[in-house]
Structure 1
Amino acid sequence: MSSESPISVRTAEDARRQLDSLLDELADLAEGASSPEEFWPELLSRLIFAASAQGAAIWQLGASRRLQPLYEQGFDKVYSAPQRDVAIDIDACSLEAALRKPKASAIVSGGESGGQTRLMLAVPLETVARTSALLVLYQPADLPAVTQNGQLRLLDAFGEIAVHFQERRLLADFAGAEQNWKNQLYFARDVHRELDVQRTCYRIANDGRLALDADRVSVAEWDGPAAYIQAISGIDVINRRAAVVRKLERLATAVAKQKQPIIFRGDRENLPPQIEDALVDYLEESPARLLIAVPLVREEEHEEEEEATAEGTLVGVMIVEQLEATEVERLLSRTRSLAETASIALDNAQRYEKLPLRGVMQFVGMVLAQFGWRKLSRTMRYVLPVLLVLLATWLIPARFEIDVRGQLQPEVERQLFAPLDGYVDEILVKHGQMVDAGEVVAKLRSPDLELKQTETAGLLAAAQSELDAVRVERTQNTRRDDDRRDNRSADRDQLSADEIRLTRRIANLQEQLLLLDKQQQSLTLTAPVAGQILSWDIDETLQARPVSRGDSLLKVAEVDGPWVLKLEAADRRTKHILDAQAATKQELPITFHLVSEPGVKHQAKLTEVSQVIDVGSETDEPAALLTASFDKTEIDFLRPGVSVSGRVDCGTRSLAYVWTHELWEAVRRRLFW
């Protein structure tokens, strides 16, 4: 039927019969097994035809609790292209009032930016006592009131059919969900029947195929670097030499290494290259058009302090195949749900098979049963093993280790300090640059020192001039007549005294100039040792920076020389280290690893323990500083200041003491502070 053709009837009776026929056909369509993608467009087109309307739409509440058009027809006639999005937002706000009304109602909207107004006839679609959608019919705003009333009744009739369709879809979804839960319960019950890995894999494959209604399900067990097929639904014995099995194992290994589920629907564009190659190779042996591969991962129940991971433990891979790519999302959802149960069952079976002395423990259980272990009271059956375990912990020796934290540092480090007040005039090195001993690294200027040099030089020149004048005058007095010598004796004595005074003053000023020159030379900073510049952002932090005497400016370290560990041990643990050192009279071994490389252990020797307790830089608690030596050739990532975590070996103690010494020390501090 065309949505643009008006209803053409000769009599009211013919129109009523035609409308009844249209509603009956639509009701039959709602009773059938049609999908929403088929039903809603058909309903909208028939509604537009029956009402000779401009358009119609299904509006539904979205995740943000705002109405949004889910299905629509005729929007190109209702909304003009330039203002389409704005008009739809305005209508969404206008239609919210219709959600709270029990029957169809009329709403006039539009007129924004000088546009035409439109009449919206909306009926709420209530399902399970909840209104979440509207059926909206669009008509011109000048539609007569009598015609509006008739079309509201027509809209109510179409709304009843739409509600009936929604209820049937909801019941079908509930029935499918109920059957899915039953299948999952049966699957969970069967896969946990036994603790044998191979039998568990067979149950996962065969029961999983029935639960998922799939064509084939395969299960691969993860064993180190590769996955091995243990079961394929419908096959009793696996022939590992078969090409399909070998290619399937290759695909399972690639998926396991990625630890991410993959979905193949005929398009391989979004697949990683290593998975794509294995998938293409396997599809040469399989006619599947839909393939879902899900890693079986057992989530960890607790997280370690330093090596926590959210990925869990990989135990296998489940591969589901379908000859037709239908209902992909539903199959994927059910596959993921079954994979969680399958991963737990397979992990339990693997753990059971890996138990050491499993047969011996079963034999011991049988022997204890023969000697009446089960006849003991329940209290004794719990108390006796606990007592035996406690006794064993006091007899079993264990390594007693103290945790320490610190950094890697070159053994020789030198700081360059500002010798005088002034400012940094020139920086000649950069961070990480290698320098030689005596190489100039920076130049400072001191205006006060330059002023003192100028003043002293001026005073020296003045004193020298005055001394020259005294010597000239004294020479002239010596050449005068002897008759007048007695009269000038007092002047000569004064000139001699002035000469001596000025000579001494000149000597003092010369010494001052020498000292000032040495201070001027000290403003040129040189590297005290050959090594590497460790200071960061030198240009930004030092260039033209005012400095005071004693300020630290640069750090130079001999990175090519020996390195040491600068560690910190908590003050409350220091006594254990000192006691162990006094008992062995040797350097205590230390096992440490870089924080950036957990699990890679290195060895060191404790060389020195500080005699002073200071505040630790790692924990802001009282701590003792330790120094340890190590072989730097064993560490690839050798950088000054790299954080390390280690343990000092303090000998052996009983297992109970190693486990509980912190608790006992806390109790003693609380009771005997």
Structure 2
Amino acid sequence: QDRVQKRSNLVRTMRTLASKILRAGKGITYAGSLQDVPPPLEKPLTNYIKESNSRMVHLVPLKEPSPFMSPSGKKRSTKPPRTIGVLIIEKTEESWLTPLLAERAETVATHVSTAMQNARTHQGVFLLPLWKWLGRGCGLFEGRTFLKVLLFVLLFVGVTGGLMLVPAPYRVEGKGKFLPVKQQDIFAPWDGEVVAIFVKSGQRVEAGQPLVKLQNVDLETQLIETQNTYEEKRQLLVTLVSSIQAAHAKYDRAEEIRLRGRHAQTQIEMQGLKARIDRLQKQIASLTITAPLAGTVATFQLEQMLSHRPVSRGERLLEIMDEDGDWHLELDVPENRLGHLMSAQLKAPSEALPVDFVLATKPENTYVGTLKKTASRTDVSVEEGSIVKVEVQVNKPELPNCRIGAEVQGKIHCGDKSLFYVLFGDVVEFVQRRVW
């Protein structure tokens, strides 16, 4: 037959018997008796003999051949070889296995095992049809050195020319955050200790609403001392008025003039003390910090961060942002990309370059904004190194689920450059920096 009929009874019984041998991993020989055949193999062997009319069947398991050399630095595996197939030898006229046939069967099994393993390895090569197609193409130039060189030169010139001549959009990437435009940092007006927190993280507050209360023991002590001194001066003033009246009644002009001088001096001192008291009271009142604008408390874990904590004057306590107003992006652009950005701004009709960006909270959608402002100085970022901050204007109604501080990946359109520079611009700039 030219083709094997897979559905025939003989082929099916042969396949069943071979699968049993594969699992067992040991060969068997049938020479007219089932006495030496293991019980699990009796039924499939009997069915096969009925279909094939064989008087002798010799089944040899094909073992996976071991490599000629073990990998360097590794011990040769001690596991038994894996069974990858079964060699079936049958005789229809004689019912015994001769020693010569058994020896030849083992030799054939060794060669067949090697051939099967090589075929399995060959078929397991990744993208085998592609490599075959490439091999057939390269075979056309076998022994033709000039054609090979010519083809390589043409391919190189074509690819290089295409990369240099084909324009492609060049975009400067930057990472940043999505924030409201209107925001205000709240700083400590004086040294002190946080004794009360009136708001929570994420709470909506109105302008003038108390946020945090500080306590400064030194200011309170100064206020008490100043008030006591002021009271002493007030009582002294009352005493001086009585003494002036007594001196006037006695016509003691010199004493009266002296007392009136002390009276005037005490009044001046009291005015200074009163001004100091007012100033201290205002300072103490300013320790109850209020919201300068309506918005949302954007500082995370406010209670854990500030509760009963000593703070210094000018230290930032919390941050308020107006979520109802306009929003923008604050992107960190690597300093080595700033030249492309500025060049694109000079060439564009306006400096408002288009920006594509995606939000970390909704990465499946791409949104569009315009470049609004570029910082005039360079900052240092732990992750990116030297960076320049830029602000991007966005249309808030197009952005659902706005979250303060959401991470953003933005790409600023800087016009067209050659496809070669778009793909390998980093390499070109690296060579320019090192060689120049």
TM-score, normalised by the number of residues in structure 1: 0.46
- Aligned twin of 1:532: 296
Asked if 1:587 is matched to 2:357, the reply is: no
**SS of aligned partner of 1:454:** helix
Asked if 1:451 is matched to 2:216, the reply is: no
Matching residue's letter, 2:352: E
> Is the Cα contact below 8 Å between 2:178 and 2:406 reproduced in 1?
yes
Residue 387 of structure 1 deviates from its aligned partner by 0.4
- Aligned twin of 1:516: 280
Q: Percent identity?
A: 27
Structure 1 residue aligned with 2:367, among 599, 602, 606?
602
Q: Distance in 1 between matches of 2:232 and 2:145?
A: 117
- Aligned twin of 1:414: 184
- Aligned twin of 1:382: 152
> Is the Cα contact below 8 Å between 2:355 and 2:368 reproduced in 1?
yes
Structure 1 residues 463 and 622: CA distance shift in structure 2, 3 A: same
Q: Distance in 2 between matches of 1:517 and 1:180?
A: 99
Q: Distance in 2 between matches of 1:655 and 1:506?
A: 82
- Aligned twin of 2:38: 33
Asked if 1:504 is matched to 2:268, the reply is: yes
Alignment of 1:255-274 (within 5 A): none
- Aligned twin of 1:404: 174
Asked if 1:556 is matched to 2:326, the reply is: no
Structure 2 residue aligned with 1:489, among 228, 253, 261?
253
Structure 1 residues 511 and 613: CA distance shift in structure 2, 3 A: same
> Is the Cα contact below 8 Å between 1:417 and 1:554 reproduced in 2?
yes
Residue 182 of structure 1 deviates from its aligned partner by 7.8
Structure 1 residues 181 and 444: CA distance shift in structure 2, 3 A: farther
**SS of aligned partner of 1:532:** strand
Structure 1 residues 671 and 187: CA distance shift in structure 2, 3 A: closer
Residue 662 of structure 1 deviates from its aligned partner by 2.2
Asked if 1:627 is matched to 2:401, the reply is: no
Matching residue's letter, 2:374: V
Residue 507 of structure 1 deviates from its aligned partner by 0.6
Matching residue's letter, 2:240: V
Q: Distance in 2 between matches of 1:670 and 1:404?
A: 24
Q: Distance in 1 between matches of 2:222 and 2:271?
A: 17
Matching residue's letter, 1:443: K
Alignment of 1:49-64 (within 5 A): none
Q: Distance in 1 between matches of 2:227 and 2:148?
A: 103
TM-score, normalised by the number of residues in structure 2: 0.69
Matching residue's letter, 2:326: P
> Is the Cα contact below 8 Å between 2:214 and 2:288 reproduced in 1?
yes
Residue 550 of structure 1 deviates from its aligned partner by 1.1
Q: Distance in 2 between matches of 1:671 and 1:187?
A: 51
Asked if 1:653 is matched to 2:423, the reply is: no
- Aligned twin of 1:283: none
> Is the Cα contact below 8 Å between 1:405 and 1:618 reproduced in 2?
no
Residue 546 of structure 1 deviates from its aligned partner by 1.1
Structure 1 stretches of 4+ moved >6 Å: 177-189
- Aligned twin of 1:667: 431
> Is the Cα contact below 8 Å between 1:442 and 1:524 reproduced in 2?
yes
Structure 1 residues 437 and 29: CA distance shift in structure 2, 3 A: farther
Residue 533 of structure 1 deviates from its aligned partner by 0.6
Matching residue's letter, 1:417: F
> Is the Cα contact below 8 Å between 1:405 and 1:567 reproduced in 2?
yes
**SS of aligned partner of 1:402:** strand
Residue 562 of structure 1 deviates from its aligned partner by 0.8
What whole-Å deviation, never above 9, does each CA across 1:527-571 have from its counterpart, x for those lacking one?
111111111111112111111111111111001111111111111
- Aligned twin of 2:5: none
Q: Distance in 1 between matches of 2:82 and 2:296?
A: 75
Residue 590 of structure 1 deviates from its aligned partner by 0.9
Asked if 1:465 is matched to 2:235, the reply is: yes
Q: Distance in 2 between matches of 1:378 and 1:590?
A: 46
**SS of aligned partner of 2:404:** coil
**SS of aligned partner of 1:392:** helix
Matching residue's letter, 1:545: R
Q: Distance in 2 between matches of 1:180 and 1:503?
A: 118
Residue 653 of structure 1 deviates from its aligned partner by 1.5
Q: Distance in 1 between matches of 2:255 and 2:245?
A: 12
Q: Distance in 1 between matches of 2:236 and 2:291?
A: 44
Equivalenced residues, count: 335
Q: Distance in 2 between matches of 1:596 and 1:632?
A: 15
**SS of aligned partner of 1:420:** coil
Structure 1 residues 394 and 511: CA distance shift in structure 2, 3 A: same
**SS of aligned partner of 1:550:** coil
Matching residue's letter, 1:402: V
Matching residue's letter, 1:412: K
What whole-Å deviation, never above 9, does each CA across 1:227-282 have from its counterpart, x for those lacking one?
xxxxxxxxxxxxxxxxxxxxxxxxxxxxxxxxxxxxxxxxxxxxxxxxxxxxxxxx
Structure 1 residues 171 and 577: CA distance shift in structure 2, 3 A: closer
Q: Which runs of 5+ in 2 are unaligned?
A: 1-32, 41-76, 88-108
- Aligned twin of 1:574: 338
Q: Distance in 2 between matches of 1:537 and 1:439?
A: 19
- Aligned twin of 1:541: 305
Residue 176 of structure 1 deviates from its aligned partner by 5.7
- Aligned twin of 2:381: 616
Q: Distance in 2 between matches of 1:403 and 1:517?
A: 53
- Aligned twin of 2:161: 391
RMSD, aligned α-carbons: 3.4
> Is the Cα contact below 8 Å between 2:84 and 2:113 reproduced in 1?
no
Matching residue's letter, 2:179: Q
Structure 1 residue aligned with 2:246, among 455, 472, 476?
476
Alignment of 1:183-332 (within 5 A): none
Q: Distance in 2 between matches of 1:509 and 1:449?
A: 14
Residue 616 of structure 1 deviates from its aligned partner by 2.4
Residue 525 of structure 1 deviates from its aligned partner by 1.0
Structure 1 residues 171 and 568: CA distance shift in structure 2, 3 A: closer
Matching residue's letter, 2:293: V
After superposing the two structures, state which structure 1 stretch, 633-642 or 423-432, moved more: 633-642
Residue 635 of structure 1 deviates from its aligned partner by 2.6
Residue 437 of structure 1 deviates from its aligned partner by 1.1
